[in-house]
Structure 1
Amino acid sequence: MKKYVMLFTFTLIMAVGILTWGIFSRNSVVPVSIVKVNPVTVENSVTCSGRVERVSMRNVYTPSAAFVSRVFVQLGDKVAQGQPLMEIQVPSANTGASDSSDSDSDGTYESLLNQYSGQNQVTTKTITSPYEGKITSLSVTNQGYVQAGTPVAVISDSSDMLQIRLSVNESQISEIKPGQKAVITGVGFKNTAYAGTVKSISSEAKQVVSTTGQETVVEVIVSVEKPGSDIKPGYTAKAKIITSQNQNVLIAPYDAVRADKEGNEYVFTLKDKKAQKTPVITKREFDDGFEITSGLSGNEEVIANPDSVSNGTHVILKEEGTVSSNG
């Protein structure tokens, strides 16, 4: 009888021990997410904003302040080079020159004549189109008055070629070169990303006022390849200009890279279901993380956020699976 009691007691103790060890083992295994670090191609880029415009535009001016007696065209009309656009009247004594006193006129034909009262005759002149194109802006009407130096019309190339006029901060302009490729996006055409190419860089910088104060910028022109109907002149746009590309680069996410008190960097790789502390050396920073130049050779599984692990910790993959580095 005692033999059976001892056997039963021993079996019970073993069962409790096995159960306790199982619970302890499950509680000591840390769930983690991993990133597979493989060689990728990474890009360096500069992103800046600007405005969409037609490739070729030309402002049309009057020779001086003038009264517009007749307008022969409408917005959207196609015109030929030399075609009459409007008829204006200017004082004969001031034909071909502007007069700053014209700014005091109230904008009527009578006031224009009174301003030059005395004896100046009024000369009628015809303003013609400087070249073939399309009227994309018209700022005058019949019986209207125009100040000197104000464009009365804008004529654009009749083709559908578009470009982006960008403002690039002086701290970034040295990275940009003609011929570099760009990706163009904008809120007005949010469902489309257009390819582009840097065409020209201004030889002079200028001062502009921004939300952070005054800054120095350089204008950069980027062409738009195969523009669709959703991108229109006047829209704001952003251009991501690709300044360089590097192949076979190992990228580890920022959260995966840690440093000890001495500043030595390391990651935790997955080895036989355990976290293994692996020293690394980083170099450049990219959108997705640090470039790893030493310590990893590629195809390693790196613990994405190792806050809860140390060297030798048993780990298990989370149910959502792994995350692959795409550079």
Structure 2
Amino acid sequence: MSSNPILIETLKPSNSELLPIVESALKSNFKNVTVEVGPCPDLSAEPFSMTSSGFGQKLVIADVGGPGNLFPKIHKEKEFDLKICKVCQSPFSFVFGPGAGPWKVVGRNCEMVADANLTTAKVILSSGYVDPLNRRYMLIFHYIILNASRSLLFSLCRLVHCKCSVRIGKDNFPETIRKALAKHYGERCVSLAGIFLLREGEAKLHIMPDFPGCQFSSSEEVDKWLQFFTMKAPLVCASVFHSYDPGHKLRMEHTHCYSSHGDAGHYYYDTTPDTVAYEGWFTAAEKIYRIDEI
């Protein structure tokens, strides 16, 4: 794990500034849209069931690794853990987001939604993986819970709260917002992070199977290696996206999902445009820590 991350200062628009940009973008891609600035929902309650009640001020993003760890060479030797928060100047934080799961712990490759309340030392990692026997996905919940050691002092902030349904355009939910930010802010990096729900409909997700026995020969071979599934709502999705990459190989949009009914994985887009319904909560990050740029 690198102890010298690259610090990327982002532009942090207020939620009030973001609201009309997000609203206009969603109205171009969905039939029914409402956007407001409102409080964060209680993330400790269902359907989220997370380790913190919400996310608040001083949001930062750690962008770690990337597809370059798969091709042109598979870097199985690289390991990262939640201690990464220390090098991001956030040792006692609520941590959530998409990532590759700890394959050595699970026993096979997997997709992860990290959920760690480092003020209470409580960690919940939701991981989806492919069962090699029946080639279906499986979901592991709660495979490490640490003892509480600190009290939680948390001040919730207000967020951009979006509801939309019936997709009439081609872009997925987070990509619709990301493209609008890119158009509006140009070569200024605005990074949003948050949680959204796929409340109705179905979505295409992938899960990484186990590593192959040899290196990939092309990026197309990597795409063919991934295994895809259609998964059903409700899905809880942790998402991060950037309007602009200032030359640091950022993952421009990254979303992983989990659920109480066992569906989980890397989100691509919904497959039921006529019936899909989303609800999301987002805010802009103050900065990005780019770690293991590859």
TM-score, normalised via structure 2 length: 0.20
Of Structure 1 and Structure 2, the greater strand share is in: 1
Higher relative contact order (CA 8 A, sep 6+): 2
TM-score, normalised via structure 1 length: 0.18
Compare CA radii of gyration and give the structure with the larger one. 1
